[in-house]
Amino acid sequence: MKNLTSIQSSTSHPVRLAALKQSFQEWGAAQDTLTRLSKRLSTTLCLETQLGILAEEVAAIIPFDAMNYRHRIARREFVFATGVGGPHRCEYRLTLEGRQYGTLSFHRRQKFSEEELAGFEMLIATVICPLRNACRFVEIEQAALTDSLTGIGNKRAMEEALIGASSLAERHGAPWSLILCDLDYFKQINDNHGHVVGDHILARAAEQIERSLRTSDNVYRFGGEEFAVLLPHTGEQAARDVAERIRLAVGTMHVDAGDERVCVSTSCGVATYLNGEDHEHWVARADEALYRAKAHGRNCTRVFATIA
């Protein structure tokens, strides 16, 4: 038997429907700044696009020389900047429901008035929810490309990066190099000390590799104990030097496993991109160099040599 609430909800209210229709038409026809800004932001979940829209709408009301946004999302620094800054700045920490969503700042040669500062606050109140949604979308995208144990890129992220690197190398002619690293005798560590110790070593190894790199370099975990390092603007000899730096850094770490200290070494294979090859062939050459390192006693670096 239906209760009173369900009976009432099943009956339309012509007056309310008419009011809804009128409100929708007014909303669609509205040209005020906040409505237009809300509409434009609702068309995309791309954080960079949203910030570009915000910059356009703000500039039409409050002149500024530069707008900067910075936020750390899933271990990565996201930075958006437009224009050249002046000596005067107003900065806002974007917070919603107790969570931080980055810092937004505006710069200008002339000081901002109190009315302009109030205008910034009204605009930010309008954009905070769409920016929050865009930040969460970035988190979801990055989670799909991140290894959950080490926090670095996974195999899918590595493949996407290699495809992009191959395209850039072809277009600009700059050298790119790939290093494959494999922790030596890692199966014995898991067998003798357990997977908890093994997982800790993997996480520590990822940290050591990252510390050995420039900010422009990227590291990925593409297998159980296998890591890949992608080096932009890096030739064969420089890539070998980086591989040796990684090898020495990993060799210095140790993990306490009860009464025993567990150490690990790594073997490295290096290959520099060749014009015209696909990313799979590039990886295969680096893997061949890694195989040679393993065959020559491990804990060493080998390069798939190319002739200029």
Walk me through the domains of the chain, giving residue ranges and CATH numbers: 18-144 (3.30.450.40), 155-303 (3.30.70.270)
* Residues paired with 90 in a beta bridge: 106
Catalytic residue status for 225:
yes
**E strand or H helix at 162:** helix 155-172
Q: pTM of this prediction?
A: 0.73
- Name, in order, each residue with C-beta under 8 angstroms of 233's C-beta and a sequence gap of 6 or more: 174, 175, 176, 216
Rounded CA gap, 47 and 66, in Å? Answer: 18
Residues in the chain with pLDDT values less than 50: 1-2, 4-7, 308
Report the SS3 class of residue 8. helix
pLDDT value at residue 7: 46
- Name, in order, each residue with C-beta under 8 angstroms of 25's C-beta and a sequence gap of 6 or more: none
* Residues paired with 263 in a beta bridge: 254
Report the SS3 class of residue 171. helix
Please state the separation of Cα 295 from the chain's center in Å.
36
Q: How is residue 33 written in tokens?
A: 């700044």
Residue type, 213: L
pLDDT value at residue 260: 86
Q: Of these residues, 225, 260, 280, 288, which one is catalytic?
A: 225
Burial class of residue 189 (count of CB atoms within 10 Å of its CB; 0-12, 13-18, 19+): buried
**E strand or H helix at 128:** helix 114-144
Q: What percent of the chain has pLDDT over 70?
A: 95
Q: What's the angle, vertex CA 118, arms to CA 116 and CA 124, rounded to 5?
A: 105
